């Protein structure tokens, strides 16, 4: 019976991927979530139905993602937990028995920008906002907002440095290359793969 269920799930995933131009390989990824073009979900990763994922973002193996919005071209590693359920330690008991007859909890969404790198075994708590281009170091526990192009590390995560100067960050935020057409992005691979100094030379071409 279990084998038959897995076969059916694989058939459903193949059909879904073909229709939506996605690469979802996990039976634990809820197809009621919002997956944009080119999204990749690796095996054993859980995705809840209250998740949206932008173009060409990917999540590696054995991660768990719920209650969040993820932007375009994000790189999310293995063992990452985004918005896991949290117990309220201000209550008399932290056990869920006290919520049996209560209203559903209102949870604050995690919002992740574009081109964000989330490294191995990171935990991001409820309500956190992560700006475009940010980098979260391996094993970090993110309890508060992360600014665009900021690098944070540690438990809890703290500021390490910014990836670029304030001027270059402002230029990249205005450029918003992740909103280019796929054709323009592929035509500017050399530019996107260059050091940050390239942003000032404007050595890129997009169709307008």
Residues with active-site annotation? 87
Q: CA 207 from chain center: how many Å? A: 28
Q: In 157-177, which positions are buried (b, 16+ CB within 10 angstroms) versus exposed (e)?
A: beeeebbbeeebbeebeeeeb
Provide the pairing of β-strand 158-162 with 150-153.
Answer: antiparallel
- Strand 40-41: give its sheet, edge to edge: 23-24, 40-41, 58-59, 75-76, 117-118, 135-136, 150-153, 158-162
**The two three-digit tokens of residue 149, written as one number:** 């192009």
Local structure of residue 183 (DSSP, 8 states): H
**The two three-digit tokens of residue 174, written as one number:** 């205005």
Three-class SS state of 133: coil
């Amino acid at each position: 019976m279990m084998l038959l269920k897995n076969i059916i799930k694989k058939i459903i995933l193949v059909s879904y991927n073909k229709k939506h131009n996605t690469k979802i390989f996990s039976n634990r990824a809820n197809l009621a979530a919002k997956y944009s073009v080119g999204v990749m979900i690796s095996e054993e990763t859980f995705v809840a139905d209250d998740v949206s994922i932008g173009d060409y973002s990917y999540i590696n193996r054995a991660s768990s993602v719920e209650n969040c919005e993820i932007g375009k071209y994000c790189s999310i590693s293995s063992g990452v937990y985004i918005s896991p359920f949290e117990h309220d330690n201000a209550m008399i008991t932290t056990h869920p028995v006290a919520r049996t007859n209560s209203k559903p909890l209102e949870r604050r969404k995690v919002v992740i920008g574009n081109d964000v790198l989330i490294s191995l075994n990171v935990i991001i708590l409820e309500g956190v906002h992560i700006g475009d281009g940010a980098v979260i170091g391996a094993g970090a526990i993110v309890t508060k907002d992360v600014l665009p192009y900021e690098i944070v590390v540690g438990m809890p995560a703290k500021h390490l440095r910014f990836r670029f100067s304030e001027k270059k960050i402002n230029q990249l935020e205005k450029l918003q290359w992740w909103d280019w057409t796929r054709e323009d992005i592929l035509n500017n691979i050399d530019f996107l793969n260059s050091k940050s100094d390239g942003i000032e030379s404007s050595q890129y071409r997009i169709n307008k």
